[in-house]
Copies of this chain bind each other. A is one copy, B any other.
């Protein structure tokens, strides 16, 4: 059975909602992420259910079947491997690759993606620190904590970002605060959740609460 690019995009969005711990993805949540009307979502969800990729109970949101989840996972694998390719081999910056990977992730061949994986040296994380599923769909796990949960005096290394929008990533580049940066918390300001940090043992900077919330560090 053939799965269209559009269907794949819905599976990805549903997967990303379920991944956040929700028991099911609501029509509205999906329509917001997909930038389509709620009516279109209902349409598509029924089609996915008919293809045994999703489970849909009227007015109760949608879940993915095992197969639906596998497809979504392979899309993440492809997306993230292509991002590594674009950054490592074609020298793009981490904030430039998302759109291209959105297209590349729909290329079919499993053999190709497995070879790409090994060509890239079987990376475990993409340029934003997100884990890359292996050929069987297993994600690497890593002990990581959002910066806002760190206490004064604690140290860590930036290993991921919660959000990978271009403006946020460019802002991090400006701060010189990319993946691999060493951070020590010097002060925390409760009234706006900002913090003063020592960056790479050399530079003291103040970062906002939003940045603290969106950076993942390994202690």
Contact = CB atoms under 8 A, between A and B. Distances in A.
Contacts of A108: 100, 103
Contact of A100 (B86, B106, B109): B109
A112 interface: yes
Integer count of this chain's copies in the complex: 2
Contact of A90 (B92, B106, B115): B115
A92 B107 contact: no
A89 interface: yes
Given A103-B107, A104-B107, A107-B103, A91 B112 contact: no
Interface string A65-109: 000000000000000000000100111100000011001101111
Contacts of A116: 90
Interface of A: 86, 89-92, 99-100, 103-104, 106-109, 112, 115-116, 119
